[in-house]
């Protein structure tokens, strides 16, 4: 019989992980095993380092780009407004699993103390916070994250030159709920929606890698028809802001085997090794990027960071110069991350917990099921996630999906029903974490312990 003591011990093992932005509109929300929904998945969080262009592009290295969100699920981008996602190391510690019972204000599902800039109870290694493993020394030094958009509806058609960074949030990642601002002049997407990418380059504190994941997105409340301009590669310009690229900018590809569009060397003004970042060091302002439209001329990319032959070949497509009008028949789903995660207390009982979030880089696939764990009511001590928010249970992160997500290969969604009595549930037991600040290539081969529960 599982106990609360076991649950607490297992959760305490979630101390070292990488990060991703979570939303029902993301690719590989359910993991990367066809026909299965993994509530503990961390497939989207794996960092990208020294990979070929075909592998790092939209996280193809583990097949994440092959599992689109459910039909009708879009990340809504209100022109002139803002949107919120959940940055976390595992789906299990977001509102998208277990009705948010394992979600806190932090990225690892734990409760931390201290000021907004310093975590008093964090684990440090060489001055870097390793638990939660957010690859920074403190909030002030967090390098910043960004979203880019391509006005194409098929991810497979998107190239580097299609993606334009349209919003940046300084001093992130730090906490789970993170909001981004949308330029007021953003034009509408095609009828099939747009493709967005969440990107991040940590400021040292480990392997010098990048992060990139895909989303289906849709601009709402659009009034402008001015298209986005063709983006240029950013350059390092911390020492002289007049050298920053003006106008629309590409996402930054760095430390890969091919396709790199920015190179840096030496030390930054703080005396640390230079690391490209979505902040003033590379010419990105905080918030909505309002200089990305075709009427704004962009500067020529610096000769110090030329495009490689491979990159040039794969970025021949340019942004459309004609306005794109959205099909008003498309109705995005309404999942919105909650500002107050469900902090239901865990009381001692003999009931089986829904499952415990697996540590990043070592999630095991589970059986397809609705957004709450598919355990029978006789053994489930947590409430099942309703398909429609009610007054008693407001929409959770306004992004709790109305149905569970299924990879494209299955072509259907899974209704909220109690599983048959012979359903087997795969539960991952988190393995202890070393708390190391360095991201190792062996992250893909974490050892798992599996336990099957029959109903």
Average pLDDT score, the chain: 73
- The answer to whether the beta carbons of residues 32 and 63 sit under 8 Å apart is yes
Position 412 in a domain: no
Q: Is position 414 within any domain? A: no
Q: Is 277 exposed, middle or buried (0-12, 13-18, 19+ CB in 10 A)?
A: buried
Coil, strand or helix at 11: helix
- Domain limits at 129? 1-405+419-455
410 found inside a domain? no
Taking only the tens place, the pLDDT of each residue in 224-283 is: 999 999 999 999 999 999 999 999 999 999 999 999 999 999 999 999 999 999 999 999
Give 181-191 pLDDT, tens digit per residue. Answer: 999 999 999 99
- What is the gyration radius of the CA atoms in the chain, in angstroms? 21
280 three-state secondary structure: helix
Alpha helix stretches (DSSP H) within 13-92: 53-56
Confidence at residue 407, expressed as pLDDT on a 0 to 100 scale: 39
Average pLDDT on 398-414 reads 37
Q: Would you say residue 411 lies in a domain?
A: no
Query: Do the domain assignments include residue 401?
Result: yes
Task: Answer whether residue 348 shows pLDDT above 80.
Answer: no
Q: What is the pTM of this model?
A: 0.69
Q: Which carries the bigger pLDDT value, residue 207 or residue 416?
A: 207
Residue 306 CB contacts under 8 Å (≥ 6 apart), including other chains: none
User: Residues with Cβ < 8 Å from 349, sequence gap 6 or more?
Assistant: 4, 381
Give the C-alpha separation, 68 to 412, whole Å. Answer: 12
Spell 36-67 as b/e; 16+ CB within 10 A means b.
Answer: bbbbbbbbbbbbbbebebebbbbbbbebbbbb
What is the residue whose two structure tokens read 């299609």?
162
For residue 143, tell me if it sits in a domain.
yes
Choose between 335 and 112: higher pLDDT.
Answer: 112
Buried b (16+ CB within 10 A) or exposed e, 118-142: ebeebbebeebbbbbbbbbbbbebb
pLDDT in tens, 68-94: 999 999 999 999 999 999 999 999 999
Is residue 413 a part of any domain in this protein?
A: no
Is pLDDT above 70 for 317? no
pLDDT: is 133 or 453 the higher one? 133
Mean pLDDT along residues 157-174: 98
- Note whether 122 and 108 are within 8 A (CB): no
Element (H, E) at 368: none
How far is C-alpha 28 from the chain's CA centre?
10
Residue scoring higher pLDDT (362 or 95): 95
Report the pLDDT value the prediction gives residue 342, as an integer from 0 to 100. Answer: 42
The yes-or-no verdict on residue 303 having pLDDT over 60 is no
- If you write DSSP's letter for every residue of 161-183 in order, what string do you get? TT-EEEEEETT-SSBSEEEEE--
pLDDT of residue 118: 67
Q: Please count the structural domains in the chain.
A: 1
Question: How high is the pLDDT of residue 301?
Answer: 44
What pLDDT, in 10s, does the model give residues 203-235? Answer: 888 889 999 999 999 999 999 999 999 999 999
In a domain, 287, yes or no: yes
């Amino acid at each position: 019989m599982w106990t609360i003591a076991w649950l607490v011990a297992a959760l305490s093992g979630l101390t070292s992980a990488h990060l991703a932005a979570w939303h029902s509109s993301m690719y590989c929300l359910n993991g990367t095993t066809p026909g299965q929904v993994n509530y503990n998945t961390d497939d989207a969080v794996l960092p990208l380092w020294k990979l070929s262009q075909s592998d790092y592009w939209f996280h193809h290295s583990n097949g994440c780009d092959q599992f689109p969100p459910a039909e009708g699920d879009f990340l809504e981008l209100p022109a002139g407004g803002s949107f919120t996602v959940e940055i976390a190391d595992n789906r299990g510690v977001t509102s998208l699993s277990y009705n948010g019972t394992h979600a806190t204000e932090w990225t690892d599902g734990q409760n931390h103390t201290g000021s907004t800039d310093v975590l008093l109870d964090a684990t440090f290694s060489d001055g870097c916070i390793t638990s939660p493993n957010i690859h920074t020394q403190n909030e002030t030094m967090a390098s910043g994250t960004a979203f880019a958009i391509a006005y194409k509806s098929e991810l497979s058609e998107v190239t580097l030159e299609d993606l334009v960074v349209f919003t940046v949030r300084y001093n992130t990642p730090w906490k789970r709920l993170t909001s981004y601002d949308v330029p007021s002049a953003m034009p509408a997407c095609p009828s099939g929606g747009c493709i967005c990418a969440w990107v991040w380059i940590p400021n040292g504190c480990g392997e010098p890698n990048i992060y990139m994941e895909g989303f289906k997105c849709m601009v709402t409340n659009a009034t402008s028809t001015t298209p986005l301009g063709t983006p240029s590669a950013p350059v390092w310009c911390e020492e002289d802001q007049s050298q920053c690229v003006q106008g629309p900018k590409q996402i930054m590809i760095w430390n890969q085997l091919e396709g790199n569009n920015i190179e840096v060397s030496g030390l930054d003004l703080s005396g640390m090794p230079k690391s490209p970042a979505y902040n003033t060091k590379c010419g990105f302002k905080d918030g909505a990027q309002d200089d990305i439209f075709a009427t704004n001329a962009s500067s020529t990319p610096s000769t110090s960071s030329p495009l490689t032959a491979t990159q040039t070949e794969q970025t021949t497509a340019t942004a459309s110069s004609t306005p794109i009008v959205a099909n008003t028949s498309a109705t995005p789903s309404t999942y919105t991350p909650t500002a107050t995660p469900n902090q239901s207390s865990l009381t001692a009982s003999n009931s089986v917990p829904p499952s415990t979030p697996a540590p990043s880089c070592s999630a095991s696939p589970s059986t397809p099921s609705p957004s709450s764990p598919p355990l029978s009511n006789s053994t489930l001590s947590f409430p099942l996630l309703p398909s429609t928010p009610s007054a008693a249970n407001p929409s959770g992160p306004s992004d709790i999906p109305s149905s569970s997500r299924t990879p494209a290969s299955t072509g259907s969604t899974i209704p909220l029903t109690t599983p048959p009595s012979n359903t087997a549930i795969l539960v991952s037991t988190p393995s202890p974490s070393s708390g190391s600040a360095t991201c190792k290539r062996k992250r893909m081969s974490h050892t798992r312990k599996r336990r099957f529960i029959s109903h």
